[in-house]
Each structure stands twice: as C-alpha cells, then as structure tokens.
Chain A
Amino acid sequence: MTLHVDTPAPPRPGPRRPVGHRGTERSRGFARFDLRATPYFLVSPYFLLFAIFGVFPLGYTFWVSLHEWELAGDKTLVGFDNYIELITDGAFWNAVVNTLGMFAMSTIPQLALALVLANALNKRIRGRLFFRLGVLLPLITSVVAVAVVFTQLYGRDYGMINWFLSLFDVDAINWQNQKWSAWVAISTMIDWRWTGYNAIILLAAMQTIPKDLYEAAAIDGATARRQFWQITIPMLRPTIIFTVFISTIGGLTLFTEPVMFDGNPTMAGGTTGQYQTVAMFIVKEAFRDFDFGYAAAAAWLLFVLILIGTLINYSFTRRIGGSK
C-alpha cells in the first residue's frame, strides 16, 4: 500500500503535451496536489459516513444535553444543569455500579476461560474442527433468544435452575430480586455468548506463533505450563489487548440481556434498579420519562466512562508478559 500506486496519471511532461513553462509548473502543482489529496479522497467515504453517523450525533447529543428538553414538548437552555443533577443522582451511580459490577463479573472469567479454551483447541485433539466450531455456535444465536431462554431458566416459579436447586432443598431464589443473583444470571448470559468468540480470536493468534519457539523451549526442558506463560501469553499480547478493548466497550454498553431479564421494557432493571445498566438508564430517561436533555447528558457521561475504562484496561494489559 504505497502512495504512488494510487496516483492515476504520472506527471511526465512529454512532447505530446504542448505546454509552456508555466503550464508545466501548474501541472506539477496539480500532480503534487493529486499525490497528496487522492489518498484522502479515497478514504473519505468512511469519514463522511463517520461524520454523519458518528460526529454529528455526538455533537447534537451534547447540544441536547445542555437543555431541559422534553420529548414533543418544551426546550430551554439550562447549561450544565443536567450534568450537575446527574452527578448527584443516586440512580445514575447505581446504574454505573451495576454496569461496572456486571462487566467485571462477566469479562474476567470470560477472557480467562477463552484463553484456556483456545489453548486446549490449539492442541492436537480428536475432532478438533468440531470443537472449534462448537465454541463459536453460541455467537450465531440471537442475543434476544439467548436472554429469553436464560431468563426462563432463571425463573422463580417454573425455572429449571430453581428446580435443580430444590433437589438439594434450596428454597426458590427470586433471581431478579438481589443484586448478586441478578448479576450472576446476566453474567452467565454474556459469557455463554461471548466466550467462544474470544476463544476463536485467541486461537487464531496462537496459530501464528512460530512452532520453533516451542521446540526450542522444549529442548531446553520447559514444561507445557512454562511454555504457556512464557511464550504463548507474551506473543498473544496485541490480541489480548484487542479482546479486552472489545469486551470493555461491550460490557459498558450492556443492554439487551438485562432488559430481557426484566421481562418488560420499562428499563427499570428490577424493582429497585438491581441490574439497571447505564444504557438502560439513558433509554429510560429519554423514552419512558421523556426527559431528552437528561438522557443526553447521561449518554455523554457514559462515553467518558468508556474512554476511562478503556485507558485503564490498556494500562493493565500493556504490562502482560513484561516489557523486555
């Protein structure tokens, strides 16, 4: 992907182009412009679309967030009042805590399990293709379907999990009722769906690690475990960073699973907001309470939260495998 490939007409003043000195200079100027501008022109469709569907909504959301803005109602400019109100709003921080809590509860075991799975699938085992496809299978089921089925499994009265627990004389658990139980239920939905996806990505990266590294290590007497920690993990670093980023963004915008777990689209996330995430909080404010300005402010704070979360995770994962 070098630049000169993209330039359509090489600026070569020849006999067939009867141009004078000034003309040549102009054409050279055009050529320089061409050389510099064409790449930008070629990548511009992406940026145009990004401007329309990315930058504009971001900016407009910010503009809305500075207003007391009611859906199909009045709009008054109030400056940063929405942000001030939001920072002191217990319900918002409750949603933040829920989001972070479920993120930690789902992502850490998910990535650890994905790593172990990928390592296992990288071994010479019987029916390797079957297993590799198998772990990816949950990904092609719809999120809503997954959430509906899991919500029924976790049902208080007729759910299979409570039935199973009742065999050991455990009382029926109302999974929606407590923070811990709701978080566990939602985390299992997320992990069921995404563990295989991450495992396949890590597996792909593992296969690019040169075999001779392992051979050399084996000759030097390194155990399989040692090889995993000293070769596999450091070599996977960029891929792990990628999966952590994607999981962070996914985790902090968690929405469908807790909404379906609620059983109705009120966006309340349980009777006392036990599992209301920030994304649900935003939708509730905008489309249940019709308070657009407040919702827009919350959306901006979520954006900032994701930036911070990603930076923190980056600083952690950067240290993987040392920086020798």
Chain B
Amino acid sequence: MLNNTRHGKLAAVAVMAATALAITSCGSSEPATPAANAGGSSAAAEPVTITVHTFGGGENFGYDKAVETWNAAHPNIQVKYQNLTDRFEDVYLPQLLQRLQAGSGAADIIAVDEGAMGLMKARPQFFTDLAEYGLESRKADFPAAKWDNGINADNKLFALGTDIGGMTMCYRTDLFQKAGLPTERDEVSKLWPDWNAFMEIGKKFQAANPGKSDPKFLDGPNTLYNVILSQEAPKNGNVSYFDKSNQLILETNPAIKTSFDLVKSFSEAGLTAKLASFTPPWNAAIKKGAFATMGCPAWMLGVVSGAAGEENKGKWDVASVPGGAGNWGGSYLAVPKQSKHPKEAAEVLNYLTGKEGQIAAFQEAAAFPSSLPAQQDPAVSELKNAFFNDAPTGQIFGASVKDLLPTFLGEKHAQVKTSVEKVLEGMDQGSIPYDQAWTKFVEAGVKAAG
C-alpha cells in the first residue's frame, strides 16, 4: 500500500504464530459445516479457504469489512485475511521471495507494493496468469498506469491494483496558528503554489519558532524527497532510478537531481526536524507535534492518525501539495503459482480490487481506490476524514490523482531507493557534509543497483 513502511502496533511474533496456525489449518481439509452448506451454494462442492497476506501498519489494507462481507455471501470460498508485518521492503518482501522460491508458504493472494513490482514482473515463473480466469476484462476499470504495471515480463496479466497514492500536504493547525499562519485548508493551499513559496512559508514558520526545542516545519528528508520525486519523474520521461531497459540513470535523470537539490535546500535552511521516516522517534514526533507539515499520499493519513493517537484528533488537516500532481505508493494483489485454488483466488482478487472491495478499504483505511468506478462512487467522493478536521479526503484525493501519469520503476528500484534515502538522512542529520552528499548519493545508488 505504500512505498516504504508503516508502523503499527502488531507484534511480529504473534503474527508469525498466527501465520503458522493458518498454514496448518489450510493443510488439513476442514470438514464442511452443514449449516453453512444448507444455504445452498453452487460454486465448489468442497469449501475452499483462500488466504490473503498483506503488509502495513495501522489499518494497513483495510480489508476486515470487505472480507467479512465476502465470507457471508460465499460459504464455499472462505477468505482468511492476515496482515503479516508493518514493514514492506525489509521484512515482507524478503520473506515473500523466500516463500516463492521454496514453492510453499505464500498465501493464495499476496499484496505487493508498487516499489517491488519491477522485481515481481521480472519473475513471471512464480505467478498465475490472471487472464486465464477472465480478469483481462477489468482493463477499463483502471487508469492505464495502474493497469500496465500488472503486466509481467512474459506479457501476462499477473496483478491488479488496489489503492493509489495521490498527493497532499498534511499540516498541524495548532502549530500554524501559533506561528501566525492561516489555518483554514483553502487558505493554506493558496500559501504554497510551488516549492519556493513553500520554502518561504517554512522560513516564516521557523522564525516564529526559533528555540532549540521548538517544533520544526518539516519532519525530515524522506517524505519530502518522495513527494517531490513523484512530481518530477512524470516531467522527465516517467522514469526515476532506472530507464525502461533497466539501466541505472540516477546520475543523469534531472528528476532525481531536482528532488535532491530541493531537499538539500530545505535541510540547509534548518526547516527539518532531522527525523528518518517510519522510525520510533518519527512516530513519537508525530504524537508530540514536533513538526508542522508532511507530504501525505492517501495511505499516509492512516499512518499519521495511527501514530498521533486519538488525543490529537482534529489538530491535523489536509491541504493541497505544492508543485502539482504525483503518486507515491499504492499496491497490487497477485496469485502465486503455488496456490492450490487459483480459480477461487482469482475470484476473490477480482472482488477485492473491484469497486466494492476498494470502497470498503477506503472507508476503513483511507487507502484511495485506484479503480475508476470506485473513485466516482459517492461513497468515496463524498467521504470526510474525522481525524483530519473533517477534511473532504475523497474530493481532495480524487482531484490529486486525476492526471496521474505512470512512472516506470526498475527491477532494483526498492534496493536503490532504500540506499539513497539513507544518504539523505545522513546529510540531514550531519554525518555527511552537504557538499559531498550528491557524490555519496550517486555512489550509494550505483552500489545498490550493482
């Protein structure tokens, strides 16, 4: 659901134990419950259990309600939904690859973050061709960018999109008020048509908060960098770290240099709280209000509300982002070849990525639908987010994803992304001097791609 990681309160150990239990219970053929069958179902004669594995903190994929609805209507195809971990790149992905390689242990339906889609596309041998089960017909439901990313190296449809990032700017109304800035979301949006204007507002904010322990304008380099890169990549041929033949273009792609330079200037101006995103100190800072703004794709709203807690309800709001449209994150569902029930799994996948499933996920976890019919549904377009001061998130995100263009992400995108962002953190926190940062940034990227 996101390009990085989300922190939730799930104990990994408990999840692992639960997974082990689920796997054993799948292995044993469960006796058909007569009561359930009495309802009269036409599909499979023997009840089939379809497992769904996802990742993400807080509400993660928000499938609790959707799965409940499905299970009530389909006694012969029971779905078991499990969120394995809150971290994608360094926990979920390695585990998934090992299970794919081993040929067992992966769920019937697995979730994959956008950042690892390049990696999965290059491994068509592990996935079921969804066109075999008629899902080719869903093409019209998705924006071209989202659909195309689900086609793998063998030119087969292997994954369908779930949510989409979109882009907004979250801000703390109480801190804005203290700094003498407007707090109403339309006025705030007008403050920053572009990043230069955003910088000026930042300086104004910081001038009003000069103390050592006063709040900073921004959280740190990571979120800012990803937001700007998501806007710059479409302006430069829709590529980020890799070109379409999977060659590293980190050093030559102007989108990357522009994003890097902007982040550097914000850091040099002293506007960041020098926090690495998705770490415990970052979560603590969200809770304590140690910074005033942060770039927010749709799924980030769930992260913020989860980290900030109920006591901060209404203190955050959502304005438009400087610099135009962009997409950061968003996920896909796929059916591994090792699934024993690919037909039923494809049916469930069709439901979860369909209008009904995506609307339920948006209501539960603020994950903005990639499905066009879902986006146009009043249940989405008119939804307000109570935590964010009743911001009309359906409308805001709907507008932000309207003109979204696809960005090509290479096979080793996730590895390169993780490595270069470490350099940004180092630069922001002072372990890498500003004048050496770009060199180190390129070095780290080249190494991770090699």
Chain A positions near chain B (C-beta within 8 angstroms) = 71-73, 91, 155-158, 171-172, 174, 176-178, 263-268, 270-272, 274, 287-290
11 further A-B contacts with Cβ under 8 Å, apart from A178-B431, A264-B279, are A71-B101, A157-B284, A177-B430, A263-B281, A264-B5, A266-B418, A268-B419, A271-B432, A272-B426, A287-B90, A288-B418
Interface string of B118-158 (1 = CB under 8 A from A): 00001100100000000000000000000000000000000
Chain B residue, CB-CB nearest to A178: B431
Structural contact, A265 and B431, CB atoms closer than 8 A: no
A264 contact set on B, CB distance < 8 A: 5, 87, 90, 276, 278-279
Residues of A contacting B280 in the complex (Cβ-Cβ under 8 angstroms): 263
Count A-B contacts at CB 8 Å: 82
The answer to whether residues A72 and B448 also contact, given A157-B290, A174-B274 and a CB cut-off of 8 A, is: no
Tell me the nearest residue of chain B to A289, going by C-beta. Answer: B415
The distance in angstroms between the C-alpha atoms of A176 and B280, with both chains bound, is: 14
B43 at the interface (CB under 8 A from A): no
Residues 219-248 of B at the A interface (beta carbon under 8 Å):
none
Determine whether B379 belongs to the interface, using a CB cutoff of 8 Å to chain A.
no
What are the residues of chain B within 8 A of A274 when measuring CB–CB?
Answer: 431
A263 to B123 alpha-carbon distance, docked (Å):
31
Q: Could you show 18 A-B contacts with beta carbons less than 8 Å apart? A: A72-B98, A73-B123, A156-B281, A157-B284, A157-B285, A158-B281, A177-B430, A263-B279, A264-B278, A271-B276, A271-B423, A272-B422, A272-B431, A274-B431, A288-B89, A288-B418, A290-B94, A290-B97
Residues of B within 8 A of A289 (CB): 415, 448
Chain B residue numbers with a CB within 8 Å of A157 are: 281, 284-285, 290
Q: A72-B98, A91-B447, A157-B284 are in contact. Are A266 and B430 (CB under 8 A)?
A: no
* A72 in contact with B432 given A263-B279, A288-B90 (CB within 8 Å): no
Q: Is B429 an interface residue (CB 8 A)?
A: yes
Do B429 and A174 touch across chains, with their CB atoms under 8 A apart? yes
Asked if B20 is at the interface (CB within 8 A of a chain A CB), the reply is no
Contact of A268 (CB < 8 Å), options: B212, B422, B431: B422
Most B CB within 10 A of own CB, among A155, A264, A287: A264
Q: Which residues of B contact A (CB under 8 A)?
A: 5, 87, 89-91, 94, 97-98, 100-101, 122-123, 126, 212, 274, 276, 278-281, 284-285, 288, 290, 415, 418-419, 422-423, 425-426, 429-432, 440, 447-448
How far does the Cβ of A90 sit from chain B's closest Cβ, in whole Å? 9
Chain B residue with the shortest CB-CB distance to A179: B431
A47 to B430, CA, bound (A): 52
**A19–B19 alpha-carbon span in the complex (Å):** 64
Q: Given A72-B126, A73-B123 in contact, is the A266-B90 Cβ separation under 8 Å? A: yes
Q: Roughly how many angstroms separate A155 CA and B281 CA in the complex, as a whole number?
A: 8
Choose among A91, A155, A174, A267 the residue that contacts B90 (Cβ–Cβ < 8 A): A267
Q: Cβ of A271 and Cβ of B422 under 8 Å apart?
A: yes
State which of B87, B101, B423 has its C-beta within 8 Å of the C-beta of A265: B87
Given contacts A155-B281, A289-B448, contact A72 B101 (CB under 8 A): yes
- Measured in the bound complex, the distance between the Cα atoms of B126 and A91 in whole Å is 33
Pick from B101, B123, B290, B429: contact of A271, CB below 8 A: B429
* Distance A263 CA – B280 CA, assembled complex (angstroms): 6
- Bound together, the chains give a CA A178 to CA B285 distance in angstroms of 22
Contacts of A176 in B (CB 8 A): 429
* Chain B residues, Cβ within 8 Å of A266: 89-90, 418, 422
B284/A158 in contact, CB under 8 A = yes
Top 3 A-B residue pairs of the complex, sorted by shortest distance between their CB atoms? A271-B426, A72-B101, A287-B94
Give the chain B neighbours of A178 by CB distance below 8 A: 431
